[in-house]
A and B are shown apart, each in its own frame.
Chain A
Amino acid sequence: MTGPVASAPPLLARVRMLLGRALQVYGGGPPAHALRDAAVRLDEPLRVAIAGRLKAGKSTLLNALVGQELAATDAGECTRIVTWFRDGHTYRVMAHPRHGPPRQLPPGPSGSLLDVDLGGWRAEDVDRLVVDWPSAALRTLTLVDTPGMDSLSTEISGRSETALGTDEGAGSQVDAVVYLMRHVHTSDIRFLEAFRDDPAERRPINTIGVLGRADEVGHGRPEALESAARVARRYSEDPRVRGLCQTVLPVAGLLAVTAATLREDEFRALGAVAAAPEVDRERLLLTAGRFVGADDAFGLSHEQRAALLDRFGLFGVRLGTRLVVSGVATTAGALSRELLDRSGLVPLREALATRFAARAEVLKARSALLTAEAVLRRHPVDPASGLDRELEQISASAHEFAEVRLLDRLRAGELMLTDQERRDAECLLGAEGVDPASRLALPAEAPSADHVRAAQAALTRWQRRAEHPTSVREVRDAARVLVRTCEGLLLGATGWSPPRPAPAGPVAPVHPARPGAGVRR
């Protein structure tokens, strides 16, 4: 998919073959289990963890992405068990205890995790919950909800780390991470710490940052979301953040989940609030306490108003009311669309699709190679020595990895390139999307002639850079990777093939020069 050079065998096939051979060597031994898991994972959806500090809004964001209130949320610290959400035929919750076989849990009366009964187990006995839920959103991605870091309960924090980190040295459990952060100062060392999740596998390529609870930035004033967007933009331009994640997006998780699950009665309740005289409305919407506590307001009971506030937040109620009053939202559907539009969820979904799902193959292959590597290191047996070399071969020679690696280096600001060159290079490598049009920065409907022209221009540019006598070695190497990318794009657009024989092409010598530097990054 991402491999523009058609002649190379598909990456996943090679990884699968490697795993198969490793299984033959270790079959029956203790590492076999991990290897088999890794092989199975190659055919499963990409695993994306939602991580972040305590109360960043992880579960709320997960609910928003699934479009269903699946994960329990609360004002206090809530999520205490790592929970996987994956696509399934019916709703089913499996509890995997630390010791012993997994067991299915009876569904709670409300059909969500809000009230699932652990069946006699304590939270600390359970390693993870796996929830099957039929959902289109989960078809391409399996989502993993994690307990917060910097929790006052060290044990809970530790649990997150094992979940995201490694399982008995067998590589990372997840392929990519959505990192939620609250609004913090960039010179705060904990801002950077905020990116620490699994100490193992964190690269910009598999991380998206999210500024969560965007509706609370700026004290929930009407311009809160604009302020949040400003903050997020500043973060994503910070060079230190660039080296840690692909981008930072502001998302008002609560708005998004409410928009996705908006009920007709809630719309009516908002309508009742909107129908009240402006003076009353302003007076009662001043504080959360007033809105709930006032007697006989808007013809809604205390409970109704408290429920409304729980679902929308004070900002959401104000925004919803404003939308109804101004006539923008005349039906529940319209209101839902408007809220969703403002929540920032759509850009996040797109980012997940273009930045994670489209690269799923590379990310998964990488996870699998990591597992294999861990096994080989842990159990160095004689028959496995050949595997060692083969693994290195795959990670060094696959152009997909070279691209990902280069992209990471670019984002970390390691190469001496001009800003323009860097942007150009990042784009070619698929930072904005891996389809040819995005790589060439062309509109999606551009004719193939444009593709050819743009690819050719880029090819010439990078060839020149690769051969330029003043280019330092790192830049020359980088330029060669880009040349190969351009060649692939050109090939895709015209069927044109490079003038040199591919196996001994200019790129080949580059990779052996940096062996082992591949997947492990």
Chain B
Amino acid sequence: MSGKQAPSAAARHAVETLDLAVKGAKAYERDDLVQRLSSARRLLTDSTVTVHVVGEFKQGKSSLVNGLLTAPVCPVDDDVATCVPTEVRYSPHVTASATFESMPGSGGSGWTETIPPGEIATYASEAGNPDNKRRLTAVTVGLDRPLLSSGLVLVDTPGVGGIGSVHHATTVGSLPQSHAVLFVTDASQELTAAELRFLRTVQELCPTVVLVLTKIDLYPHWMRIAELDHAHLQRAGVDIEMIAVSSELRSLAATAGDQALNAESGYPALVGRLGRVVAEAERLALDAVVVHVVSAIDQMEATATARRDALVDPANAAALLARLSATKERADALRERSSKWQVLLQDGFADIASDVEFDLRQRSRAVLHEAEAAIDDGDPAKNWEQFEEWLRERLAGEAMENYALFVRRAKEVAATVGEHFELAESEIVTARTVAAPVDLVGGLSLDAGFTNKKAKGALGAAFNKTYGGVLMFTMLPAIVGLAVPLPVGLLGGALLGGHGYREERKRQLERRRQEAKTAVRRVIDDFNLQVGKDSRDAIRHVQRELRTSWGERVAELQRSAAAALSAAQAEAKGGESDAGTRERIESDLATLQRLRARIEDLRGHLARIRTAEAPAAAPAAEAGVPA
């Protein structure tokens, strides 16, 4: 049910060219090239384009998805609504399925079952599934919509828990696999500090981020808000485009079939932008196809040319052989362990590993300091739950940013290695397959046993409420980056008490604080250990992936060089110089030429689209935003 239902002309052209190239490679008995071209073909035929819709609670994310599909797929409510991620993809018939998490401790891997499409709301909405009691991880909906037919998959995420929560961070962990992110914020107010910080992280993880300003029908001053947001983004150095929409108008327009109203809703611009995301994804795939096919043609042509040259001009055979030997040696050298790209890759990733680890430790240390300071300021017996929540959220956030650092650095290293590789096909293997380790954070357990001890001792409760609420309040600023003065009002309430009681209370409080600190330290140790292990694994994984894919390329080149050399050698040794062989080689070369012409065609087409779009894209991006 996934896949492209309507490939573009360019894609069809590319697939045909690929098929021809595969035929050629088969004729030359180059299985490695056949495999490479086949996997390039899959890039075109089986890909989906995932777009995540993220944002704060009550900004209109589900309405946006419904507006895009002009169907009430995602539940919408005045109070809370979406509680699990909802994925909408193409399907000729309306379908729905729910993925469940297995009960904790059962060790199962969860399961997926089909649900009646009419009951989506009872699964995906807070009203039908309060606090996600049904333990759903996702709801998938299949829908017959032209927008989706190009392979687009929309993912509506719950705003529950806010953009900083562990819950949400798990969603964010999959953003590197996403082709675009629609960040939703409504026109009632300008961006907040938390939103901006989130946008900065997302921008590092996903190539395309679009800020969608919603509810513009309700706020007469939405243009001012858009300007303010623009200014905020500019100051923060976040360079993303903005589109303003009204889901209310879109749904009215859909019911009434009113084109003018639809235009007023701002949705056409958004749909157009999504179209460009899909087209861009296809073009990226086409780019890859071009690179692969050109490389394959180059290699096959090298062999054919060598043979022909040896046949046509036996006198020059010595020079030809020398040239071919040199090429082969270069390819061999590339393959050897000591070659420069290997060293670069190794060193680069060693640096990444140490930097990422250091970064992680530094981050967790900062969290530890904050947590300890907060514990010293308050009584851990109070608000431990919120504290725990805070700690998890904080750690999840740090893990995310640490992960973003890794992705960025890995891309940098890949680019450097690619440069030294001096190969046309040094396309970067990104860390797309690696998920962020944030879901680990949810699994860490925090020992809260000592909170029960507060009631022991005759005067245990005397102090109780003094610190209520304060603990978490003094901690939270870190999340929004505020500088909060010390809670002077607490002023160590104990100081005014009678001496005996005071001492006793102080001792108890001190003990609780010590125990809380120990617990926090244990959690952070665990965090370092687990996330550290995870990120080391991720680093190794990506490194291996890069090494393998480049290694394959090198092997291919080596084989091509060797084939060319041996072909030329065979012909030079005085093989039969009959016209038939020469003719065959000439015709092979002509076929390869034709293939190359086709690919050049495609390349030219892509370049034309790009140049045509560059000036067109700029005004389109501005369209949603007032001048």
Contact = CB atoms under 8 A, between A and B. Distances in A.
Contacts of B191: 152
B246 A149 contact: no
A473 B460 CA distance: 11
B79 A230 contact: yes
B162 A189 contact: yes
Interface residues of A, number: 89
Given A77-B190, A154-B481, A289-B220, A185 B470 contact: no
A286 B189 CA distance: 20
B231 to A, nearest CB: 10
B488 A200 contact: yes
A216 B215 CA distance: 10
B193 A152 contact: yes
A196 B79 contact: no
A424 interface: no
A392 B462 contact: no
Interface in B476-500: 476-477, 479-498
Contacts of A473: 458, 461
Contacts of B79: 183, 227, 230-231, 234
Contacts of A151: 192-193
B429 interface: no
B390 interface: yes
A193 B480 CA distance: 10
Contacts of A391: 496
Nearest to A518: B496
A515 B497 contact: yes
Interface stretch (B6-14, B221-229, B316-324): B221-229
B248 interface: yes
Given A188-B160, A409-B465, A515 B501 contact: yes
B220 A199 contact: no
Contacts of B162: 184-185, 188-190
Contacts of B189: 54-55
Contact of A513 (B232, B459, B480): B459
Given A190-B476, A240-B386, 13 more contacts: A54-B190, A154-B193, A199-B486, A230-B79, A243-B468, A243-B469, A286-B252, A288-B218, A289-B220, A289-B264, A374-B491, A412-B468, A516-B495
Contacts, number: 240
Nearest to B467: A521
Nearest to A172: B489
A199 B476 contact: no
Contacts of A158: 482-484
Contacts of A517: 462-463, 466, 493, 497
B485 A162 contact: yes
B156 interface: no
A491 to B, nearest CB: 28
A195 B220 contact: no
B389 A189 contact: yes
B35 interface: no
B469 A195 contact: yes
Interface-central residue, A53, A158, A192, by most chain B CB under 10 Å: A192
Contacts of A166: 485, 488-489
Given A161-B484, A185-B159, A75 B491 contact: no
A75 B221 contact: yes
B491 A514 contact: no
A309 interface: yes
B249 interface: yes
B488 A216 contact: no
A392 B496 contact: yes
Contacts of A161: 482, 484-485
A515 B462 CA distance: 8
Contacts of A338: none
A290 B483 CA distance: 43
B469 A188 contact: no
B46 interface: no
Nearest to A157: B482
Please give me the 4 A-B residue pairs with the lowest Cβ-Cβ distance, nearest first: A200-B489, A218-B78, A516-B497, A75-B221
Contact of B249 (A183, A188, A286): A286
A377 B489 contact: no
Contacts of B493: 516-517, 520-521
A76 B491 contact: no
A377 B491 contact: yes
Nearest to B236: A152
A292 interface: yes
A230 B476 CA distance: 28
A240 B161 CA distance: 15
A289 B226 CA distance: 14
Contact of A150 (B161, B192, B459, B494): B192
Nearest to B247: A219
Nearest to A165: B485
A78 B218 CA distance: 20
A251 B120 CA distance: 34
30 contacts: A76-B190, A149-B480, A165-B488, A182-B58, A185-B80, A185-B161, A187-B131, A189-B390, A196-B476, A199-B487, A199-B488, A199-B489, A217-B78, A218-B78, A219-B218, A223-B78, A243-B469, A286-B252, A288-B216, A288-B220, A289-B220, A314-B219, A374-B491, A409-B464, A513-B459, A513-B501, A516-B494, A516-B498, A520-B489, A521-B493
Contacts of A512: 498
B55 interface: no
Given A219-B248, A513-B462, A388 B476 contact: no
A86 interface: no
Interface in B47-100: 57-58, 78-80
Nearest to A224: B78
Interface in A24-77: 53-55, 75-77
Interface string B191-229: 111101000000000000000000111111110110010
B167 to A, nearest CB: 8
A300 to B, nearest CB: 15
B165 interface: yes
Contacts of A230: 78-79
B446 to A, nearest CB: 15
A291 B502 CA distance: 66
Nearest to A414: B464
Interface string A135-173: 000000000000001111010011001100110010110
B358 interface: no
Contacts of B494: 516
A364 interface: no
A405 interface: yes
B3 interface: no
A76 B228 contact: yes
A391 B160 CA distance: 46
A370 B489 CA distance: 8
Nearest to B382: A412
Given A54-B189, A55-B188, A216-B218, A183 B58 contact: yes
Interface string A210-244: 00010011111101100100110010000010011
A105 to B, nearest CB: 27
A87 interface: no
B217 A289 contact: yes
A185 to B, nearest CB: 5
A246 to B, nearest CB: 14
Contacts of B246: 287
Interface string A409-445: 1001010000000000000000000000000000000
B473 interface: yes
A213 B485 contact: no
A215 to B, nearest CB: 10
B151 interface: no
